Amino acid sequence: MARLVTARREGMTASPGPRSAPALLRGLLQVARPKQWLKNVLVLAAPGAAGVLQHRHTALLAFGAFGLFCLAASGTYCINDTLDAAADRLHPVKRHRPVAAGIVSPLVAVTVGSAALAVAVALAWVMAGSHLALVIAIYAAVVTAYSVRLKHEPIIDLACVSSGFVLRGIAGGVATGIELTNWFLIVATFGSLLVVAGKRSAEHADLGESRAEIRRTLGTYPPTFLRSVRLIAASVLVTAYCQWAFGRAPALGSGHHPMWFELSILPFVLAVLHLELRFETGHGGAPEDLALGDRTLQVLGLLWATLFAIGIYA
């Protein structure tokens, strides 16, 4: 709480003066980070892999959970940007964030963020029951704890960010009543860890000697450690996906030829290798930019999704 009060004071000090309503609305939209809603597609992973998205009611629940996670994620970004305003002003890119730049006041950001989280939890309860509401509440609690303190704890910070991706996957299963397999959870967990470790590797390279001032844990992680984490995560991810893919056809019953699931392993592995190459060369600081701008990754992702979709829905 003390840190939140300090962040508010610092943000108000940096404020350039009165803000017009349109400028404030544009600032709030920027704080909401709609580009990062792409991460919430993971909510659709479990019902999509289970082959139930063609059912209208299930699809509505899945896409409703996707929308609620977008709302909750934007709420956490508002709170995070308020708490990180001082550190963001030292960052070459993040200093342009509306709270750090004084476009949106800390009071407004925290109020809007808290309201968004409360509405997301309440609507989740109404739409799909207490389990989905609990998943979103846990997500909000983990992200807030991360912003307040845990982001400064080595290893724990990697686990916190990774858990956000995993909770998205769990939310899709909970909202639609899909039982999540062990292999699905392992793929989600280690895929998330790979992306987060790659993000830290890129930040480590981009920020140079100032990395420890902007993010304390980056001063703790040697590049070789982050590389080891990525390799471990990639190894487990590929192994788990192979086990999952080979087990999909029997699980779905007759009429589903295992060939399509087996073929999907090839673009999946190539995509993991491509990601690792990008991380090793200092890219991946913004995973959403990789997903939206890397043509090779997009082609491999489309090929994988096509093969998997044929196996499930054809």
Give dist(CA 225, CA 229) in Å, integer.
6
Examine the pLDDT at 15 and tell me if it is beyond 70.
Answer: no
Which whole number is the average pLDDT over 222-237?
Answer: 93
Dihedral of CA atoms 205, 211, 216, 221 in degrees, nearest 10, equals 30
Count of CB atoms within 10 A of residue 69's CB?
28
Lowest mean pLDDT among 6-15, 51-60, 132-141, 297-306: 6-15
Examine the pLDDT at 167 and tell me if it is beyond 90.
Answer: yes
What distance lies between CA 49 and its chain's CA centroid? 19
pLDDT band for position 160 (50/70/90)?
Answer: very high
pLDDT at 294: 86
Average pLDDT, the chain: 84
Examine the pLDDT at 50 and tell me if it is beyond 60.
Answer: yes
pLDDT at 236: 96
The pTM assigned to this predicted structure is 0.82
Give dist(CA 183, CA 49) in Å, integer.
12
